[in-house]
Amino acid sequence: MEKKFNETELREELNAFQLDQLVVFGLSCAERMIPNYKRFTRECRWGDPDILRNGLDLTWNWLTTGTISEKEVKKMLATCEAQTPDTDDFDTILVSSALDAANSVSAVLELILSNRCDSAIEIAIYGRDTVDMYIQESEGMDPQDAQLENKIWLHPLMQRELKSQRSAISLIKQGIAIKDAESIWKRHDVGSLGF
């Protein structure tokens, strides 16, 4: 059983990370959200997951080569931000997860520019919130239920997301090589929502 998400503990762990480690952690979370975005685009015929993929690929490439221009990151950031859906424009359970996916890719790119731990934490929160919202909606949970948070925490999708985040932190602390991180986390076939 995974512990509940704790932003304070996460901050303590990530504060010890170097920029490349923060970016790998952010990528590990963002990659799991891309299949959710793809599902949204298929259902709603809006958005281009290839653009988000390009943003992630640019970031993986930066980790491998160590070279990227600020101009290139800013251009990709603007392109990815244009793929962010307005939740008021869509009537689907998937719009929040698509929003979180696009925001997570943007946050990974912003992380390269800012070198701020807060951006990596934000990406982890997007990952958690995506699963949280989907569980509530798909299971028809009552927002007034006193046990709501525990039910969400115990749900298999949330347990898997929490485990994925903690596993990534552990592997990064152990010094996982970029090529190994890429082979584990790049291009998930199944997203954090199980499809």
Distance of alpha carbon 119 from alpha carbon 40, whole angstroms: 24
Q: In this predicted structure, what is the pLDDT of residue 189?
A: 87
- Residue 63 pLDDT greater than 90, yes or no: yes
- Give pLDDT, residue 188: 82
Give CATH for domain 8-182: 1.20.1590.10
d(CA 156, CA 162): 10
Averaged pLDDT score across all residues of the chain: 97
Query: What integer is the mean pLDDT of 104-128?
Result: 98
Each domain of the chain, given as residue ranges in start order, spans: 8-182
Contact call for residues 104 and 129 (beta carbons, < 8 A): no
Q: What is the pTM of this model?
A: 0.97
Rounded Cα distance between 184 and 182, Å, is: 5
